[in-house]
Structure 1
């Protein structure tokens, strides 16, 4: 079915507090050199003590409205990608509806971890193309600092906070979405998790702290095997080649991982958009944040072809091939 959905506006927000590698040196046994060498990260933004995912999301939407002179009172669905909602319920999406007083809309959160935003865009495209919706807010918002174990230096140096929002609207002529590819390897769930109600995954005991736990080596191996194959499939479905791509925007988990993926598919790392260097790993937010920063810096142009690829806990992944139209 031919897509009838177009991305019409974007916005993002980063908390004011910055946590640099030098700050982390004072907190634990690490160094700027060690962090940069292994991750490419220099700093990350950290939400305030009373600042939560819904607060960041609202500011990202306000930024979208200000930049593109858009209104949201007629949005008919709000999708929020997050793993760090303020509450188990109500959802962040419901808090957004309340704040903007959107009279008639659906609202829900989805949790596909670092692939959450590409999942959200895929859903928005599907629902608009089906004719069920006309105007959808797709938001990603994370306060990962609140669930990071700062006694574990292998994860403490990685994560940051932020939010981003895209508006997706019905449009028959100027379309954004070209192809999609997704997959899941649920047996890898033990390699990246945060405990909630259950004490075990497939018989394996979980860390009881409720903080994030990651087997970085296993996630790295899975991602660097999975994403290159997914990129090939996306391009084949879209009847394009990698030479047709203006930008590759992977989840900004780790700059070294992105460099490895680019090497495996023989794609120039200079044509990637990332947010990891100054924002750290912001999970579902990293892809729209990288695009927002690229637009802000004048790199992204109308008509550019982009390959977005989210991957993370689950283990699950979803890639999208899109054409930029704003």
Structure 2
């Protein structure tokens, strides 16, 4: 028998404030048509004043636990993927742990920007498969609206705030690709490309949070090639290929990247979970948000083969193959 990390429940949370593309027309040289054509985004959510990343994460965590039929007492640890923590330290995960009433286990954050949830999945999978944990609560949560340069129309219209969560638990499989749970992981990074997407501030440089900066065209050219390659690698590790996939649940950055990656994998868009039009780019929150939406809408069902891939600042990118 083979120990697997299997999905037990999902949940998500979105701030109340909906920001349509038209809201940017008053302050920027842009339009709803321009934003939709270049990104596929129609609207996004922004956190309210005083609403923090840990607040969003907590709501998503409670939803996922409820969906799994579990309580915080059943969880061994909390892992949060975020690039927009409440504070420099302690971690968002410890804040969620406390607010859930957990006085046992462990909690820590993972930072790989938009690829953060893939890295969190890889970390949780390793801990469960090795026997270090039985059940883990994974959360992707971001308040990217706090690091936007509102005068830069090429970036500030693309991002949104939100959180998604997934409960993973240990199960026994046969060791084949027919097992439920995480089947394979592929992680990559290349720091030579770090200037393509970064924040121009930090603790040991400016002492301030800074603003997001992005070389959009250059990043676009890197994204499709790297996402398709990591997806193919992850699938090949378990003797699978694009046509075997029931659903791609990708990082929701840009509809053209999503379309381009699906095309390279030989899959039509009706086999892709797409939420970018409603949420914008929520960075590390986008994959668990899309997973939760797909499950809630009844599209993702037990036994489906899922492929999730993401690329973000670093550059860091990767893919996970998971049977639901």
Q: Smaller-chain TM-score range?
A: over 0.9
Distance 1:305 1:183 in 2: 22
Secondary structure in 1 matching 2:72: coil
Give 1:125's aligned residue: 125
Q: TM-score, normalised by structure 1?
A: 0.93
Partners of 2:27 and 2:107 in 1: CA distance: 39
Query: 239-248 or 30-39: which moved more?
Result: 239-248
Q: Distance in 1 between matches of 2:169 and 2:231?
A: 26
Residue 187 (structure 1) aligns with: 192
Could you tell me which runs of 5 or more consecutive residues in structure 1 were left unpaired when the two chains were aligned.
Answer: 200-205
- C-alpha deviations, 1:148-171, integer Å up to 9, x for none? 111100001100000111111111
Deviation per residue, 1:288-321 (Å, 9 max, x gap) = 1111111121111111001110211010112001
Unaligned runs of 5+ in 2: 174-178
How many residue pairs match? The answer is 317
TM normalised by structure 2 equals 0.94
Q: Which residue of 2 aligns with 1:145?
A: 145
Question: Distance in 1 between the 2:114 and 2:53 partners?
Answer: 15
Q: Distance in 2 between matches of 1:7 and 1:293?
A: 15
CA distance in 2, matches of 1:301, 1:216: 35
1:202 equivalent in structure 2: none
Q: Aligned runs of 1:1-326 on 2, under 5 Å?
A: 2-173=2-173, 175-194=180-199, 195-197=201-203, 199=205, 210-324=210-324
Q: 254-263 or 49-58, which moves further after superposition?
A: 254-263
The answer to whether the 8 A contact 1:77-1:105 is kept is yes
Deviations 1:151-201 (A, max 9, x none): 1000011000001111111111463111111111111001111121455xx
